[in-house]
């Protein structure tokens, strides 16, 4: 997952379907400030290429990122000179500091394979919150939302690259298995690669209990930013 080939074209096909990392970060900032008006520090867990983090940097005095995939980590560090982006696993990271807000966006938590791993990640994030700090997690779909055989397609063109992406989803145990095929064309020719994504369909109750057991309040806000909603908690 998230090898060099994908990292290079990752944002192109999402922009082609209208994803706006800046607008999403602004909306999350408003959620955080509504609950903690004085919030000035933020950690973006599974920050990917740093697209959200770039926008968060405009709204918070200090931001940091955490990313496990080296190709994405390299792009985030290149994009955000002067901003600390840690290499780490959301299940067991320890940065020896706390933040006013910790966020985990774009369904990254769904890549964890078990409820125990998801709970460990929520606990690790909560442990990095100052008292009264705000935790925001964007989940993957819930089990009742799974559509067997779902097919999605995207076509993006930027900076001399044309990227076509098509995915097919099936149920694998209690997870969505997406086979994702890419065609990438540029002046040198056309290349093809395949990624397999497996995202666990955790239940709303499982997320809720994970927040509670990690010493956070919890509310679920359906809908935005990508149709899956957000879990928002405040550290006791």
Q: What is the pLDDT of residues 218-231, one digit of tens each?
A: 999 999 999 999 99
pTM: 0.97
Q: What is the pLDDT of residues 45-76, one digit of tens each?
A: 999 999 999 999 999 999 999 999 999 999 99
- Distance in Å from the first CA to the final CA of the chain: 35
- ∠ at Cα 123 (121, 208), nearest 5°? 90
Instruction: Tell me the three state secondary structure of residue 137.
Output: strand
The predicted model gives 18-34 an average pLDDT of: 98
Residues 6+ apart with CB under 8 A from 75: 7, 49, 50
- In the predicted model, is pLDDT for residue 1 greater than 80? no
How far is the C-alpha of 112 from the C-alpha of 202, rounded, in Å? Answer: 10
Whether the Cβ atoms of residue 73 and residue 16 lie closer than 8 Å to each other: no
H-helix or E-strand containing 45? strand 41-45
Ordered domains of the chain (ranges, CATH): 4-142+202-234 (3.40.50.150), 144-200 (2.20.130.10)
Q: What is the pLDDT of residues 73-122, one digit of tens each?
A: 999 999 999 999 999 999 999 999 999 999 999 999 999 999 999 999 99
């Amino acid at each position: 997952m998230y090898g060099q080939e994908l990292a290079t074209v990752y944002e192109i096909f999402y922009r082609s379907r209208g994803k706006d990392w800046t607008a999403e970060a602004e909306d999350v900032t408003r959620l955080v400030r509504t609950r903690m008006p004085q919030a000035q520090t933020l950690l973006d867990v599974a920050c990917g290429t740093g697209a959200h983090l770039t926008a968060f940097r405009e709204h918070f005095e200090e931001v940091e990122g955490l990313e496990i995939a080296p190709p994405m980590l390299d792009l985030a560090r290149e994009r955000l000179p002067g901003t600390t982006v840690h290499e780490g696993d959301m299940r067991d990271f320890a940065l020896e500091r706390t933040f006013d807000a910790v966020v985990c966006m774009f369904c990254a938590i769904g890549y964890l394979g078990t409820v125990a791993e998801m709970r460990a990640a929520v606990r690790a994030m909560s442990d990095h919150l100052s008292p009264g700090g705000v935790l925001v997690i964007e989940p993957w779909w819930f089990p009742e939302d799974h559509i067997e055989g779902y097919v999605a397609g995207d076509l993006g063109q930027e900076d001399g690259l044309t990227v076509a992406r098509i995915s097919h989803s099936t149920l694998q145990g209690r997870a969505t298995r997406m086979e994702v095929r890419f065609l990438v064309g540029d002046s040198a020719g056309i290349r093809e690669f395949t990624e397999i994504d497996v995202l666990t369909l955790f239940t709303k109750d499982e997320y809720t209990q994970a927040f509670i057991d990690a010493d956070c309040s919890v509310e679920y806000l359906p809908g935005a930013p990508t149709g899956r909603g957000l879990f928002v908690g405040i550290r006791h």
